Structure 1
Amino acid sequence: MPAKADGRRRLLLDLLRDGPLPVRQLATALGVSAVTVRRDVEALSSTGRLSRAQGRVARTDPGDDEGPVIGMLVPAIDRHHGELIRGAREAVARAGARLVLGVCGDAPGAAQSQLGLLVDAGATGVLLAPRWPAQGVQPADETPVLGPGMPAVLVERRGEPGTALAGLDSVRTDHAHGIGLALRHLAARGRRRIGLLTDPGSPVSATLLAGHRELVGALGLAGPRCASVEELATAAAAGQLDAAVVHPDEDALRLLQAAQALGLDVPRDLALVAYGDDVAALADVPLTAVSLPRASVGEAAATLLLRRLGAGDGASEALDGPYRHLDLLPRLYVRVSCGDHLDGAAARPA
C-alpha cells in the first residue's frame, strides 16, 4: 500500500534531491496516481518547499543532508522498478538515510558511468539492479558492478555460482516458486495441456521456461512454449492446449481478448494464469495471477545493505558476514479465469 500522506511527501522530497522530475515519473516511483502526486506537490508548494515549471517538479529548499547516502542503480523508472524503488526508499527513510538514483538504460558503459555519479553523490553503499542480458550474466557484466568496491546488494539479480557477483548480498523474487504455484494450480483443476508465454527480453524468462519444462514433465503434462499471443491463441483454438501461464500480465489480458475473438470461452475452453498482478484484476474475466513482492524486495534489499553498513535499525548489529541470498516468495491470487468461481471479482490468496 502507498505510504500515508506525510510519509509519502517525505519520499517525494527525497526523490527530488538530485533535480527536477516529471509528475508521472514521480507517481511511478511512489506507486500512486499522478492526481495524488499533484495534490502533494500543491501542498508542499504552499509551504515553499517545491515549485513546478514546464511539467517538472523541483525542490526550492536544500533539505537536510545528514545521514548516510545509499545509491540505487536501475535500468529504468517503470512500473516494475518503481515498486522496487518505493520499497527501498521507505526503508532508507526510516533509517534516517537518503536514496540517490542512477538510471542506466541500455547505453554501453552507462552502468559504470552512473555508479561513478552515485559515488560522487556520496553513496557509501549501493543497491544494484542493472540491465543484464536475459540469457545470463557474462564476465564483462561483472566489471562495472564490482568497480566501486563498496558494500552492495543485488536487487532481483544474482550472479552465476562461484563468481564474484554471486559473492554479493542479494534479494530477489523466487520465480521458480511462482511458476510452480501457477502450474500446480492449473493441474489441480484438471488442465493437462498448459502453454507458456513469457517476454524473452526479461531476466525472469529463463527461470520461467526452466520451471515450466521441469514441472510439465514431473506432473505428466503437455505444454507448448509459444512465441506470441497470437500463436498461443491459435494453439488453444486448435485444441493443442487448455490452459496457459502468461508473463507479463498485460499480455495475459491481450490473450484473453484474442481467445474471445476466436470464440473461446475463458475459463471453460482455456484457463489463464497471469504472471504478474498489475492489471490482471481489471479484465472482464478477472485473471488468477501470481503477485510479485516487488516493494518488499526493495525494502529487504535496502534493510540488508543498511545493516551491512551499520546504519539505521541495524547500527547496533552490523553484519560483517556471511553474505546472504534472500528469496522472497510470490503469492497466487485466485480469481475467475481458471474456473474458480468466486463472488464477484474479489481475489483470495491460494
Structure 2
Amino acid sequence: MREPVDRRRQRILAAVQARGTARVRDLADELQVSVVTVRRDVEELTREGRLRRGHGVVRSTLPAQEIPPGDLSGGERVAVVVPERHSYLTETLHGARTALEEAGMRMALHIAPQVAGAERPLVERALADGARGLLLAPRWHTLAAEEADYGWLAALELPTVLMERRPRQGSAAHALDSVRSDHWYGAHLAVEHLTGLGHRRILFATREDSPTARTLRAAFTGIAGAHPLLEAWAWALTSPQAGREGPYTADETADLPRLMRRVRATAMVLHSDVDALMVVQRLADDGVRVPEDCSVVAYDDVVAALATSPLTAVSPPKAEVGRTAAQLLVQRLREGRERPARRVELLPRLMVRGSTRRAAGTVARDDDGMADAAARKLAPHE
C-alpha cells in the first residue's frame, strides 16, 4: 500500500532534521520511492519554508525542537561497529538488525580491522555520516587496549550501547549502556554438568585475547577453586597463539594432552568452540578418545554442533544480546539522556551433545544425593 504523501514528507523532514543535511538520492533509497518523488516532495517543503535545497542536497530550516528527538519515524541510521572475522557476533548482528527494523531504523555496519584503536575512526566516520546511535563491540585484545578506549567512549555525544562488553567498574565508561552474556553463569553450567557426571579432575583452556576470554578465565578459576567436589584442576591457553598478555607459567602454555595426563584430567572445558574442535583433533592424534577417555565441553556454540561428533557446548544468547542491545538503544533515543543507564546480563544455556559422558566408575546423583534410577536398577539387591 502506498504511503500517504503527508506521512512521507514528515519522514523526510525527520530524516533531514536528524542529520542536518541529506542527499536526495539517499532519501529516495530510505523511503523506497523514486528520486523524482522525493524531489517533488522537497520542492513543496521548500516552498513552505521548511527545507532549503542545494545541488542534490537538502538542508533543514526548522529549529531542533520542532521535531522531537524521540521521533524515530524517519528511517534513521544506527551505526554498528564490530571486529572483522568474528563469527561469534554474526548471530548478534542478526538480532540487532531485526530489532532496529521493527523500530523503523536502519543498520549501517562498520567492520573494524584487527589493530588497536581501529574502532574510534569508524565511530567518528559514522557520526559524520549522521548516525543517530551506536551499537559497539570493540575487539579489546588486551586489558590495556580496553582501558585506552574508556575516555573517548565516555565522551561520545550520541547514544551508545556496548554489546558483549562491560567496562571496568569505576572507569570513565562505567555508565555506558551495555548488554552481555553472563559468562560466569556459563562457566558454572559447564562445571556443574561435568561434576554431575562424576568428573573430579578438570582442565580448563581458554583464549586470553578478548574480554570474554579473560572473564571466563577468572570465572573458571574462582568456581573450580571453591568447588567441593573437584580434586584437581588446571588452566591453560588453548594454544600458544591464544594469549596477548603474559608472562605465563609453563603449565599455562603446556601442550594440552601432556597437561591432561599430568593433572589426570577426565574432562576439559575449552573456549572457543573453534579452538575446541582443534583441541579434539589434537587429542585424537595423541590417542585420546572423546568422550571415552575425556569429556569435552566447548564454549560459544558457534560451530560446536557441526563437528563429526557434535560437542556439548555452553551457548550464550548471541542473537538475544543483539536484539536487547538494539531495543535498549531505541529506548535511549526515545527517552533521552535522563533515562538511567542499564547494564543487562543474559544467561547462557548448556547444549548437551555427544562429547560428554559419565566418568568411569561413577554413578549419577540427583538433588538429594541419591543414585539415579538407572544406577539403582543396576545395583545388587541388599
**TM-score (normalised: structure 1):** 0.73
| Residue aligning to 2:348 | 330
For 1:179, what is the secondary structure of its paired residue? helix
Instruction: Report the CA distance shift for 1:167/1:280 in structure 2 as closer, same or farther (over 3 A).
Output: same
* Selected match of 1:62 from 22, 29, 44: 29
Q: Work out the CA distance in 2 between the residues paired with 1:207 and 1:171.
A: 15
Could you say which residue in structure 2 is the equivalent of 1:165?
A: 173
**In the aligned structure 1, how far is the partner of 2:146 from the partner of 2:139?**
12
Cα distance 1:69–1:298, how it changes in 2: closer, same or farther (>3 A)?
Answer: same
> Which whole-Å deviations, capped at 9, do the CAs of 1:222-268 have from their partners, x for residues lacking one?
21112346711223345621110001112212222222222223223
Q: Deviations over 1:173-194 (max 9, x none)?
A: 1111111100111011111111
Match of 2:368 in 1: none
2:164–2:179 Cα contact (<8 Å) kept: yes
CA RMSD of aligned residues (A): 2.4
* Cross-structure match for 1:289: 313
Q: 1:336 to 1:309 in 2, by over 3 A?
A: same
Q: Number of residue pairs matched? A: 276
Q: Contact 1:127/1:153 (CA < 8 Å) preserved in 2?
A: yes
Query: 1:171 & 1:89 partners in 2: Cα distance?
Result: 15
- Aligned equivalents of 1:141 and 1:319: distance in 2? 21
Instruction: Report the AA paired with residue 98 of structure 2.
Output: E
Does 2:303 correspond to 1:270?
no
Indicate if the aligned counterparts of 1:309 and 1:318 stay in contact, CA closer than 8 A.
Answer: yes
Identity of aligned pairs, percent?
39
Cα gap change, 1:81 to 1:233, in 2 (>3 Å): same
Name the larger-Rg structure. Answer: 2
Is 2:167 the counterpart of 1:149?
Answer: no
User: In the alignment, is residue 216 of structure 1 matched against residue 234 of structure 2?
Assistant: no
Structure 1 segments (4+ residues) deviating >6 Å: none
Inter-partner Cα distance in structure 2 for 1:259 and 1:171:
36
> Do the aligned residues in 2 keep the contact of 1:267 with 1:339 (CA within 8 Å)?
yes
Which residue among 287, 298, 312 is the counterpart of 2:322?
Answer: 298
Deviations 1:252-299 (A, max 9, x none): 122222222222232232110000212212223321100121111111
TM alignment of 1:10-49, pairs within 5 A: none
What is the match of residue 130 of structure 1?
138
Contact 1:83 / 1:294 at 8 angstroms: preserved in 2?
yes
Q: Secondary structure at the match of 1:322?
A: coil
Q: Is 2:107 the partner of 1:99? A: yes
Q: Distance in 1 between matches of 2:302 and 2:118?
A: 29
Distance 1:136 1:294 in 2: 26
* In 1: Cα distance, 2:356 partner to 2:83 partner: 34
Task: Give yes or no for contact 2:88–2:302 (8 Å, CA) kept in 1.
Answer: no
Partner of 1:14: none
Checking the alignment, whether the CA contact within 8 Å between 1:101 and 1:118 is kept in structure 2 is no
Q: Is the deviation greater in 65-74 or in 212-221?
A: 65-74
Q: Partners in 1 of 2:258 and 2:138 — Cα distance?
A: 36
Q: Secondary structure at the match of 1:217?
A: helix
- On the 8 A contact 1:126/1:153 being kept in 2, the answer is yes
Counterpart for residue 88 of structure 2: 80
Q: CA deviation at 1:163?
A: 2.0
SS of equivalent residue, structure 1 residue 167: coil
Secondary structure of 2:29 counterpart: coil
Q: Which amino acid aligns with 1:62?
A: D
Residue 106 of structure 1 aligns to a residue whose secondary structure is coil
Q: Structure 1 residues 225, 170: CA separation in 2 closer, same or farther (over 3 Å shift)?
A: same
**Distance apart, 1:89 and its partner CA:** 0.9
The residue number in structure 2 matching 1:175 is 183
Instruction: String of CA shifts for 1:9-59, please: whole Å, max 9, x gaps.
Output: xxxxxxxxxxxxxxxxxxxxxxxxxxxxxxxxxxxxxxxxxxxxxxxxxx9
Letter in 1 for 2:295: A
Q: Distance in 2 between matches of 1:197 and 1:107?
A: 25
Residues 323, 256 of structure 1: CA spacing in aligned structure 2 closer, same or farther, 3 A cutoff?
same
- SS of alignment partner, residue 166 of structure 1: coil
**How far 1:106 moved relative to its partner?**
3.4
Shift of residue 319, structure 1, vs aligned partner: 7.9
Q: Which residue of 2 aligns with 1:194?
A: 202
Partner of 2:246: none
**Counterpart secondary structure, 1:226:** strand
Residue 78 of structure 1, CA deviation: 3.3
Matched, 1:261 2:271: no
Q: State the SS of the aligned residue for 1:303.
A: helix
Distance in 1 (alpha carbons) for counterparts of 2:101 and 2:170: 34
Unaligned runs of 5+ in 2: 1-25, 33-73, 240-253, 359-382
Say if 1:140 and 1:285 are closer, same or farther in 2 by CA, change over 3 A: closer
* One-letter amino acid matched to 1:155: M
2:376 — aligned with what?
A: none
Are 1:89 and 2:97 counterparts?
A: yes
Give the counterpart letter for 2:306 in structure 1: L
TM-score by length of 2: 0.67
**CA distance 1:107–1:147, change in 2 (3 Å):** farther
